[in-house]
Structure 1
Amino acid sequence: MKLISYIKHHKLKSILIVSLLITYYFSLPKQLFKDPTATVITSNNNELLGAQIAKDGQWRFPQNDRVPEKFKTCIIQFEDEYFYKHPGFNPISIFKALRDNLKSNTIKRGGSTITQQVIRLSRKGQERTYFEKVIEIILATRLEFRASKNQILSYYSSNAPFGGNVVGLDAASWRYFNRNSSELSWAESATLAVLPNAPSLIYPGKNQERLIKKRNLLLKKLLENEVIDSLTYNLSIAESLPQKPYPLPQIAPHLLQKVSQLHSGKRIQTSIDNRLQNRVNYIVKTHYNQLSQNGIYNAAVLVLDVKTRKIMAYVGNTPTDKAHQKDVDVIDKPRSTGSILKPFLYTAMLDAGDILPHTLVADVPTQFGSYNPENYNKTYDGAVAASRALSRSLNVPSVRMLQEFGLDRFYHYLKALQLKNLKYNANHYGLSLILGGAESNLWDLCKSYAALSSTLNHFSETSSEYYSNEFCEPTFLASETVNFGKKTSDKTLFDAASIYLTYESLKEVNRPEGDESWEFFDGSKQIAWKTGTSFGFRDAWAIGTTKDYVVGVWVGNADGEGRPGLVGVQAAAPILFDVFDLLPKSNWFSKPFDEMQEVFICKKSGFRAYQNCDEVEEKFIQLSGLKTRPCPFHVLVHLDASESYQVNGSCETLSDIKHKSWFVLPPLMAYYYKAKNPFYKPLPKFRSDCLGDNTITMEFIYPEENNTIFLPKDFDEKPNDLILKIAHSKPDAALFWYLNETFIGSTKDIHELAIIPKEGKHLITVVDEFGNEAKRSITITK
C-alpha cells in the first residue's frame, strides 16, 4: 500500500525510475557479438578436421561455451582475480586505475574486469573515454544479471584478440600450438592468457623477450598461489614460445566446402572417423602419385556405414594442384556411369522373375539399329550365365538383357533409386543407358548400394520385413539419425532374395579377360563389388559393399580427359580394396530364406529343369523366379544304337531307337559357344536312309544388318577382303552366296566367303540346298 501511495504522490519520479529500469533492462543487445565466424568441422569424437576463414578474413571460431580449466585459471589470475566475487566491475581496481592515470596524465592502467572487457569487445570501435567506461560498467552489471560467470568467460575466450587475424582461444590454440585448447600445457595456456592484453607481442620474431617475461610472471603467480607445483613451474618456464603460426588442419577440405554451403559460420560435428579419414587420405595420395604419371590427376572416395547411413570418410579429390582442379569436389559431380548400373538391371530382372541367377543369356555379335555394343575384350562366349555376365561385366549380354527387360521399365527402377543426374527421359539414353550412356555421381551410387545392403540387413533382423524409407539420403552430421520409416511386409523396391543373389554374383572377381595376375582381391574378405569404365576411358569406378560398409571410388580427370589404362579394375579397384583393408571384417549377408525356394535347376542352362534336362541340381532361387519358363535348350532326340546318327521310324525299328536328352543352342550362339566349350556337341546328322528332317536354321555371324563397313587398303593400295560368315544347323549342307542377286560362290562345312565389293549399298543373300534363305544389307566405304 505504501508503494502505491508513493507512486500516486511522486508520479514523475516513479515514471523516471520505471523508465530507467526499462532502459537498463533493454540496454544490452540480445546478441552481443555479430561478427562473422569461421566454418568449423570436427570428427565424430570432436577432433578438428578443418576450418574455413570467416568472411571478414579473421580466424574467428564460433562461440564455444566450454573454457578449458587451465586457460580459465590463467586468465582469471592475470586479468581479474576477483572475477567470481564482483558484480561486473571492481570499485577498488577502478579507483587505483583512476588514481594512477590522473597522476601520469595518461591512461596507464584500465582496471577493467573480464566482464567489462567482454562489453568493450562487443562495442568495438568506441573510443576509450571515461564516459565510455561508465557505459561499460552499466552494461557489465546488466550482463552479470543475464549470464553466468562461466558464460561470460566463454564470451571473452571466444572473442578476445590474439594477434594478427586470430580471434578467440580456439583459433589461437590451433594457429600457435597446432592443437585443441583443451590439450594446452600450463605454459601454453599462460602464453595465450597474456596475449589479449598485448596481442602484438605474438608476431613471430618480435617481442619474444617481453612476451616470455609476461608469461613467466603469470606462471610465477600460479606457483605462489599454489595452483601449480614447483616441478610444473620449472618445466613450464623452460618451454619455448611459438615461432610462427601453423596452418589449420585440412583433413577433409571438400567436406568442409559442402558444410560451408549449408552451415556457413557454424561449428559442425560430423560423422567422420578422424583416424579412418587420415588413412584414406594417405591411400588416395599414394595412388595419386602413381596415377599422375599416366596423366590421371583426380580421384574421390566415399565410405558409408550401412547400418547408420553415416559418412565415415569423405575424400572429394586428390592432393593435386589448381591446374588440375584440386578444389573440385568430385563426389557430387555427374560422371558417365560406365558399367556401374549393371547390378541394378540384374537385380530388377531377378525381382521381376525374368531370369534366374544362372540362366544362359546370349553373348553374340549384336546390333540394334546403328548401336553396336561390344565386349571389353572384343570376343564372344555365345552363351553365358547371367550371373557370370554380371561378374565379368560383359557388355553385349547386358544390352540384350536391357532390351529384353524393357528400357522404360528399367528407367523406372533407376528413378526410384533417386539418381539425381538422370534428367532426361529413357529414350534420350537408349540402350546405352546400361553401358554409361547416363550420368550419376559417387554420392548417389554409394547411397543406392547402401540401401540394397541395408534392405538385406533389415530383412534378416526383423521378422522378414522391410522398411518404407530404405532409400534415404546418407548424412555427414553426427547429431542426425536417419529415419528408415515404418516396417512393412511389402518390398521397398527390390525383394531381399534378388539383392542377395546379385551380391552372390558380385562376390566373383570381375577382372578383364586374360589378366591372370589379379592381385587386389583378398579372398578372406567377402565383398560384393563392381567396377565401371566410361566410354573413351574418362571415368573409372569401383563400388563395394559388405554387411556393414559401402566404399565407393571414382578415378579420372575432372576436365573429362580420357587416358589409356583409366579402367575401373586397374585404376579404381586397387583403391577400393586398400580402403576395405582399413575396415573391420564383416560377416557375409544372411540368406533371406523367406523370400526363396529350393527348386531343381538345369545344370547346363541355368533354367528351371524339366523332363528333358539330364543333369539337374537343387538351388535356392527368388520366389518370383518360380514363374520363369523351363529350359528351352534341351530337346529329346532319337538316335541309332551307336548314337552317331539321328533316326526315326522310317529307317530304324522302334526297339533299336535310343532316346536321349541333348543340349542344343541356336546356330549363332552355338558357333561362339563351342569355341570356348570343347565338350559342346552339336546334334548328330540324320542317317541318310531316314525320311524327314529337323528344322533347319542358319544365321549370319558377319556382317550385321545395316552395317557400314570400311575396307582398309594394303601396301599395294588394294582393298582388303570382306569375310562373310554364317552359322548353319547342318554344317555339311551346301550354301550358295549371292551379291545383289549375282551368284558369287558356294561353301560347305566351313561357311566363310571372301569378297571385295564396290563402294555403296549391297544385298547379300545366302540360300542352302534345302531352299532356306538369309539376307543382309550392308554399305561399303573405302
Structure 2
Amino acid sequence: MTTDATPRRRWRVWPWALGTAGACCALLLLFLGWCLLQVPVGGGMQPSATPATLILENRDGTGFATRGVLRGEPIRAEALPQPLTDAVIAIEDRRFYDHHGVDPRGILRALARAFGAGRLREGASTITQQLARLTYLSQEKTLTRKAQEAMLAIWLEGRLSKQEILARYMNAAYFGAGAVGADAAARRYFGKAVGELNLAEAAMIAGLLRAPSALAPTTNMEGARQRADVVLGVMEETGFATPEAVAAARAAPPVLKAPPEPLVGRGYFSDWADSEARRLVGPLPMDLSVRTTLDPALQDLAERVLAQHLGKEGAKQHAGQAALLALAPDGAVLAAVGGRDYAESQFSRITQAKRQPGSLFKLFVYAAALEAGYRPGQTMQDAPLTINGWSPGNSDGNFRGTVTLRDAFAHSINTVAVRLQEAVGRDKVAAMARRLGLSADIPLNPSMALGTTEATLAEMVTAFGRVGYGTQIEPYLVQEVRSRDRALYTRTTAPAARAVPEAVQQGMLEMMMAVVQQGTGRAARLDRPVAGKTGTTQDSRDAWFVGMTADAVVGVWVGNDDNSPMTNVYGGGLPARIWRDFMREADKVRTAAAPSAAVTPARAEDEELRGMPDVVDTGTLRVAGREVRLAGIVGLPGGFVAAMTQWIAGREAVCQPRENDTWQCRVDGRDLSELVLSNGGGRAATDASPELRRAERAAREARLGIWGG
C-alpha cells in the first residue's frame, strides 16, 4: 500500500508545480511588459545641450572658479582613446565584447567577489546597461529600473556597435567637478584632450566612474589615487596593460592641472563675471575660459576687512550686512564683495540692492551747480528753509549762516544742498545723475537733493569715478573670453569720452578732498590725497562712503537687508573705517607685489633715480620702476595728470631723495613740485619749503587750477 501511494502523490504535485511556474512566468511577463511600457523611449540618444561652462581666471591668468557643466569635445566611435578605453572596460565591464547587453557571468562574479572581500569591488551592470540608465532612466535603485535597464541594454546592443556604445557611454558619464564626458574630465583635471592621456591619468579618470563626486581629485586626491591604483591592478590582471606599463604608471602618478574649486567669498564676483561673459559671447554650447579683472590679493583683503569690522562692530550697532566695490580708474573691477556671507545669501548688495544713497546724492547736485557756473569758493546761506511745507534740517540741528560751497559739501549741510538744487533746477540735477550712471526714476521733488532716489553701490561708485577721473568709465569684469585657443572676445581700449567738463572735475575733486581733510569723512584719511563723500539715510538705515585715490575708486555700503535702522552708524563712521583699512592694506599689498620691492636697496643720501616718469597723480611719479612722492606737495588725480604728462612728453626725470621719504624731481632743470603748485595742480604740504609756498600763493592769487573757484 505504501509503495503504490507514493507515486500517486508525486503525480498530484506536478500539476500544481506546473501551474505555479506558469503563473510566475505570466506574472514575470506582465511585470516586464509593464516595465517596458514605462520606459521613456522618445528621447535621450543625443546629449542635451547645456549652457557654456566658464572657467574664471584672475587678471594674471590663474583659474579661481568654474561655473556650469563642463562637456568638452565628444569622443567619436572611430577614434576611441587608448588607454582610457582599456581602463574603462577593465574596471567597469571586462566581458564587454563577449555579452549582448547583460552579463550573467559578470553578475555572479561580482557577487562572489563581494562575499569574499566583504565589499563590492566591481559593478554588476555592464557598460551597455549603464549607458541605458544614463540615457533614458533615473538613478533610483529599484527592481523596476533594473529590469528596464536590462531590456534597454539588449535593445541598444541590437542597434549600435560596441564602439558606438563605448563612445556614447564615455561622452555621457559624469566624472566629478562639473565634468560630463571623458574629454571634459581630461581637460578639467589634467589640462589636455582625452586622446593625450597617459596610462596613469586614464586609470584615475576611469576610477572616478564609481563615485565621481566623492573621488574627484580636486577635492580628494588621495582617494582618487587609491582608486586609480585599483584600476591599474585590474588592468594588469585582465591583460589590458602589461606589468611593466603598470609599474611605470605607478612610479609616475598623475599631476593635477585644474582650476581650484570655487572660493565661497568670490561668489559675488563670479556671478557678476559669469553674467557679463555670457552677455558678451551669447549662449554658446561650448566650454569657455574667461580672463577677468579680479585682483586676488585685493579680493581677499576686501573679504577679510569686511568680516573683521562686521564681526567686531556689527552686532552692537545692529549692522547685519556690508558690501565693497573697488574699481580701477578705467572701470576694471578689482574686488567685489556683495555681502557678509555668499554661502548664506547669493543676493548681491553691489548690483542688485537698490538703496537710498543719502548725502552721496549731493555729488550730482554740486556737479550740476559747477557746470552751471558756480565755484567751490562761492557762498550760500545755511539757514532754515521751507518749500511747499517741507523743511530740511541738518544732522546736528544747527545752522552755520554764510558758508562756502566747499565747506557745505565737506560738512554735508542739507539746507545748502537743497538751496543749490532749487537754484540750478531739479531737472538739471536729475539729468546730471542720469548722465553719471543712475538708472532709477528720479522724482523731481525738493528732497531729491538729500538722496531719496534709490541706486546700487555699483552705480554710485561708477558716478564718483566718472566725476573724479573725468572720463565716462563703465565697470567691467571680463578682459577676454576663449574657447580652447580661439578668442571669442577681447576687450579693446579706446580713449574714453569726458564725463564732465574739466572745471567740474577739478571743482568736485577739491570739494571731495575737503570732505576727507576737514569734513564728515575724516576717518578715511590716508597719508596721500583722498577724495570722497559720506552718505547716511534716515534712522541710519543705510550708511555709505565712496572714496578715491589716483589708483582706485572704492565704495562701501553698510545696512540691513530688511531695511531696519542701525544704531549710530553713519557714513563717516563704520563705512569710512572699512574703506580706510582696506586702502591702507591695499597699499601694502601693491608694494609687496611690486617686482622691485624685494630688491630695492636702502636709499642713500646721494642716490639718484633717472628715467621716463609715469604720472600717477600730480604729486606722485613712477620712475625706474619705483613710486616716487614729490617733496612738499599734495598731488591730485584727474585732468591735471594729463596736462602734466603732456608737458613731460617723454623727457627724462632726475630725482634725488629728500626728507620723509620724498623726492625732488626735475625735468630739464625745472622742479616738478614748483611747476605743479605754480599752475594750481596741487596743494603745498605741511613740510613744503618757502619757495613752494610762494608758488602756491601765486597760483591762488592768479586763480589758477584748483583756485579758480
TM-score normalised according to structure 1 size:
0.53
Supply the distance in 1 between the matched residues of 2:225 and 2:356 (Cα, whole angstroms): 61
Q: Taking structure 1 as reference, are residues 433 and 512 closer, same or farther at Cα in structure 2, changes over 3 Å only?
A: farther
Q: Which residue matches 2:399?
A: 380
What SS does the aligned partner of 1:300 have? strand
Deviation at 1:563, TM superposition (A): 1.5
Residue pair 2:305, 2:582 contacting (<8 A) in 1 also = yes
- What does 1:344-493 correspond to in 2, within 5 Å? 344-353=364-373, 355-421=374-440, 423-426=441-444, 429-430=445-446, 432-456=447-471, 470=472, 472=474, 474-475=476-477, 478-479=480-481, 492-493=498-499
Deviation at 1:107, TM superposition (A): 10
Q: May I ask how many residue pairs the two structures share in their alignment?
A: 507
Deviation at 1:349, TM superposition (A): 1.9
Q: Taking structure 1 as reference, are residues 593 and 73 closer, same or farther at Cα in structure 2, changes over 3 Å only?
A: same
Q: Does 2:503 align with 1:497?
A: yes
Structure 2 counterpart of 1:62, from 64, 70, 90? 70
Q: AA paired with 1:278? A: D
What SS does the aligned partner of 1:443 have? helix
Supply the distance in 2 between the matched residues of 1:477 and 1:382 (Cα, whole angstroms): 51
- What does 1:144-543 correspond to in 2, within 5 Å? 159-162=172-175, 182=191, 190-196=203-209, 211=227, 214-215=230-231, 217=233, 224-225=244-245, 228=248, 231-232=251-252, 249-255=263-269, 269=290, 270-290=292-312, 291-307=314-330, 309-319=331-341, 326-331=345-350, 332-353=352-373, 355-421=374-440, 423-426=441-444, 429-430=445-446, 432-456=447-471, 470=472, 472=474, 474-475=476-477, 478-479=480-481, 492-510=498-516, 520-524=524-528, 526-543=529-546
Q: AA paired with 2:394? A: N
Q: Does 2:93 align with 1:75?
A: no
Q: Taking structure 1 as reference, are residues 181 and 279 closer, same or farther at Cα in structure 2, changes over 3 Å only?
A: farther
Q: Which residue matches 1:632?
A: none
Deviation at 1:620, TM superposition (A): 1.9
Q: Does 2:560 align with 1:557?
A: yes
Residue pair 2:204, 2:224 contacting (<8 A) in 1 also = no
Decide which structure has the larger Cα Rg and report it. 1
Residue pair 1:41, 1:256 contacting (<8 A) in 2 also = no
Supply the distance in 2 between the matched residues of 1:397 and 1:513 (Cα, whole angstroms): 15
Residue pair 1:49, 1:251 contacting (<8 A) in 2 also = no
Deviation at 1:75, TM superposition (A): 3.0
Deviation at 1:425, TM superposition (A): 3.4
Supply the distance in 2 between the matched residues of 1:105 and 1:616 (Cα, whole angstroms): 94
What SS does the aligned partner of 1:562 have? coil
Q: Does 2:703 align with 1:619?
A: yes
Q: Taking structure 1 as reference, are residues 478 and 533 closer, same or farther at Cα in structure 2, changes over 3 Å only?
A: farther
Q: Name the structure with the higher helix share.
A: 2
Supply the distance in 2 between the matched residues of 1:537 and 1:405 (Cα, whole angstroms): 29
Q: Does 2:49 align with 1:49?
A: no
Q: AA paired with 1:450? A: G
Residue pair 1:447, 1:471 contacting (<8 A) in 2 also = yes
Deviation at 1:40, TM superposition (A): 5.3
Residue pair 1:281, 1:315 contacting (<8 A) in 2 also = yes
Q: Taking structure 1 as reference, are residues 339 and 105 closer, same or farther at Cα in structure 2, changes over 3 Å only?
A: closer
Q: Which residue matches 2:631?
A: none
Q: Which residue matches 2:594?
A: none
Residue pair 1:187, 1:215 contacting (<8 A) in 2 also = no
Q: Taking structure 1 as reference, are residues 343 and 294 closer, same or farther at Cα in structure 2, changes over 3 Å only?
A: same
1:47-93, Cα deviation, whole Å (9 max, x unpaired) = 24365xxxxxxxx72323599xxxx8873551379xxxxxxxx9x98
Deviation at 1:34, TM superposition (A): 0.5
Deviation at 1:420, TM superposition (A): 1.3
What SS does the aligned partner of 2:566 have? coil
Residue pair 2:325, 2:337 contacting (<8 A) in 1 also = yes
Q: AA paired with 1:342? A: K
What SS does the aligned partner of 1:507 have? helix
Residue pair 1:61, 1:171 contacting (<8 A) in 2 also = no
What SS does the aligned partner of 2:538 have? coil
Supply the distance in 2 between the matched residues of 1:163 and 1:50 (Cα, whole angstroms): 12
Q: AA paired with 1:618? A: A
What SS does the aligned partner of 2:174 have? coil
Residue pair 2:356, 2:537 contacting (<8 A) in 1 also = yes
Q: Which residue matches 1:135?
A: 159
Deviation at 1:319, TM superposition (A): 2.0
Q: Taking structure 1 as reference, are residues 74 and 95 closer, same or farther at Cα in structure 2, changes over 3 Å only?
A: closer
Q: AA paired with 1:133? A: E
Q: Does 2:645 align with 1:589?
A: no
What SS does the aligned partner of 2:358 have? coil
Q: Which residue matches 2:37?
A: none
Structure 1: any 5+ residue segments left out of the alignment?
Answer: 1-28, 52-59, 82-89, 144-151, 240-245, 457-469, 601-614, 629-782
Q: Taking structure 1 as reference, are residues 36 and 318 closer, same or farther at Cα in structure 2, changes over 3 Å only?
A: same
Supply the distance in 2 between the matched residues of 1:313 and 1:156 (Cα, whole angstroms): 42
Q: Taking structure 1 as reference, are residues 100 and 534 closer, same or farther at Cα in structure 2, changes over 3 Å only?
A: closer
Supply the distance in 2 between the matched residues of 1:360 and 1:99 (Cα, whole angstroms): 90
Supply the distance in 2 between the matched residues of 1:508 and 1:225 (Cα, whole angstroms): 74
Supply the distance in 1 between the matched residues of 2:701 and 2:534 (Cα, whole angstroms): 31
Residue pair 1:520, 1:573 contacting (<8 A) in 2 also = yes
Q: Taking structure 1 as reference, are residues 35 and 46 closer, same or farther at Cα in structure 2, changes over 3 Å only?
A: farther
Q: Which residue matches 2:629?
A: none
Structure 2: any 5+ residue segments left out of the alignment?
Answer: 1-42, 76-80, 111-121, 138-148, 482-488, 592-615, 618-636, 647-675, 681-698
Residue pair 1:363, 1:383 contacting (<8 A) in 2 also = yes
Q: Taking structure 1 as reference, are residues 102 and 49 closer, same or farther at Cα in structure 2, changes over 3 Å only?
A: closer
- What does 1:586-665 correspond to in 2, within 5 Å? 587=617, 588-591=637-640, 617-621=701-705
1:129-179, Cα deviation, whole Å (9 max, x unpaired) = 4551243328839x9xxxxxxxx7xx87774234899855799899xxxx9
Q: AA paired with 1:617? A: E
Deviation at 1:499, TM superposition (A): 0.8
1:665-712, Cα deviation, whole Å (9 max, x unpaired) = xxxxxxxxxxxxxxxxxxxxxxxxxxxxxxxxxxxxxxxxxxxxxxxx
Percent identity between the two aligned chains: 21
What SS does the aligned partner of 1:408 have? helix
Deviation at 1:223, TM superposition (A): 7.5
Q: Taking structure 1 as reference, are residues 527 and 104 closer, same or farther at Cα in structure 2, changes over 3 Å only?
A: closer
- What does 1:84-95 correspond to in 2, within 5 Å? none
Supply the distance in 1 between the matched residues of 2:412 and 2:242 (Cα, whole angstroms): 71
Supply the distance in 2 between the matched residues of 1:446 and 1:170 (Cα, whole angstroms): 43
Residue pair 2:470, 2:638 contacting (<8 A) in 1 also = no
TM-score normalised according to structure 2 size:
0.58
Supply the distance in 2 between the matched residues of 1:191 and 1:345 (Cα, whole angstroms): 64
1:495-535, Cα deviation, whole Å (9 max, x unpaired) = 123212311332234489799xx5542123x3322111112
Deviation at 1:539, TM superposition (A): 0.5
Q: Name the structure with the higher strand share.
A: 1
Supply the distance in 2 between the matched residues of 1:209 and 1:42 (Cα, whole angstroms): 27
Supply the distance in 1 between the matched residues of 2:464 and 2:703 (Cα, whole angstroms): 25
Q: AA paired with 1:434? A: A
Q: Taking structure 1 as reference, are residues 289 and 93 closer, same or farther at Cα in structure 2, changes over 3 Å only?
A: same
